[in-house]
Structure 1
Amino acid sequence: MFFIVDTKDKRAEAATAVSRLPASPRYSVEIKPYKRSRSLAQNRTMWMWYGVIADHMGCEPEDVHEEMKVRVLGVERKIVAGQACIIPKSTTALDVDGMGRFMAAIEALAADLGIVLPATDEYDYAKHGAKAA
C-alpha cells in the first residue's frame, strides 16, 4: 500500500488501512514528506535534447548527460575499493522543480552553442510539471 496524505479523508483512509493489518507477519510503516519525482515527460525531453546537442558536438548523448551533471549538480568524492574517486551527482533524486532547473541549464548550454532545442507537446509539463493551459 502507498498513500499520499493530503486531505483529512486520505489520512483517515491510511490510518484505517494500518489499523486493519494483522499482527503477523510484521509490517514496516514509513511516514515521510511527499516529494514529486521528476516526470517521465521531463526525462524524455532531457534525452531528446541530449541527442540534439550530441549531434551538434559530435559525441554521444550519454557524454552530454555526464557533462551536464558535473556542470549543474557537481561531484561527490568517494572511496571505492580503496581508491579515491570523483563521481558526478545523479539526476535521479531530483524532484519536478529541481529537474526543471536542470533542464533550464541544458537549454542555456544549447543556446551558448547556437542550438535551438525542439519543444514537444509536453514541453511545459516537462519543464514545470504541469500542462500548459
Structure 2
Amino acid sequence: MREFILHETNKSQLWQILKEIISTGKRWRIKISEYREKRSLSQNNLMWKWNAEMAGQLTAVSSESFSEEWVHEWLKEQFCPAKPITIMGKTVWVKSTKLLDVGEMHKYLNDIDVWAHQRGLKLTIPHECEYRELQRKQEE
C-alpha cells in the first residue's frame, strides 16, 4: 500500500483509496500516525559539514586518519535512534539518519554538538541555518 498523507483538503480521496484496497479481497492492516516532516536538507548539510570538521580535527590530534564517512558511521552508532524496517514479514532495526524526522534529526545534531563540545572539537553553526533557528525557538 502506498503512503497517503491525510489532511482537510484531500479527505474525500481517502474513501476512494480504501475502496480500491478492499476490492482486492485481501486483508489489510492500516496504521495511522501523525505526519512529521523528514529531516531537512539544511539539517543533512550541517551534519555532513560537522562530520568533515570532526574528521579533520580528530585526524590532526591522532596518529590515525579519519574520513567524514567513518565519523558519520561512528556517530550514528552512538546517537542515532534505531528504526524498524520490515520486508516480507521480517523486521530489522537500523540506525539511519535518512529515517529521522525534523525533530529527531535536531536531537541527533544536538547530541553531536554537546559531545563534540565536551571533547574540545569546534563545530561551525551557520547563523542562518535550521539548527540555529530551532535552538533559538527552544530557548524562548
- TM-score, normalized by length of structure 1? 0.63
Q: Name structure 2 gaps, 5 residues minimum.
A: 21-29, 60-65, 84-92
Q: What is the CA–CA distance in structure 2 between the aligned matches of 1:107 and 1:36, rounded to whole Å?
A: 22
Judged with a 3 Å threshold, the aligned counterparts in structure 2 of structure 1 residues 69 and 4 are, in CA distance, closer, same or farther, namely: same
AA in 1 matched with 2:11: R
1:6 aligns to what?
7
Q: 1:75 to 1:97 in 2, by over 3 A?
A: closer
Q: What is the match of residue 42 of structure 1?
A: 43
- Matched with 1:110 is 116
Q: Is 1:124–2:96 an aligned residue pair?
A: no
| Structure 1 partner of 2:86 | none
CA distance in 1: counterparts of 2:122 and 2:130, whole angstroms:
14
| Residues 1:101 and 2:102 are matched in the alignment | no
Q: What residue ranges of structure 1 are gaps of 5+ in the alignment?
A: 22-29, 77-86
CA distance in 1, matches of 2:77, 2:100: 15
What per-residue deviation string (whole Å, max 9, x for no partner) do you get for residues 96-124 of structure 1?
Answer: 11111110111012202212321222233
Whether 1:62 aligns to 2:58 is: no
Cα separation, partners in 2 of 1:75 and 1:100, compared to 1, 3 Å: closer
Q: Report sequence identity in percent.
A: 26
Asked if 1:71 corresponds to 2:78, the answer is yes
The AA in structure 2 aligned to 1:44 is N
2:73 aligned partner, one-letter code: E
Normalised by the length of structure 2, the TM-score is 0.61
Aligned amino acid, residue 96 of structure 1: V
Q: Deviations over 1:29-66 (max 9, x none)?
A: x7643232111111111000111111100111111111
Two-structure CA RMSD over aligned residues (Å):
3.6
Specify the SS of the correspondent of 2:97. Answer: coil
User: Against the structure 1 CA distance between its residues 126 and 45, is the aligned structure 2 distance closer, same or farther, given a 3 Å change threshold?
Assistant: farther
The answer on whether the counterparts of 1:45 and 1:126 sit within 8 Å (CA) in structure 2 is no
Q: 1:99 to 1:89 in 2, by over 3 A?
A: same
Q: Shift of residue 70 of structure 1?
A: 1.4
Equivalent-residue separation in structure 1 for 2:79 and 2:133 (angstroms)? 18
Question: 2:105 and 2:77 mapped to 1: Cα distance?
Answer: 15
Query: C-alpha distance in 2, partners of 1:31/1:72?
Result: 27
95 and 57 in structure 1: CA distance in 2 versus 1, 3 angstrom threshold: same
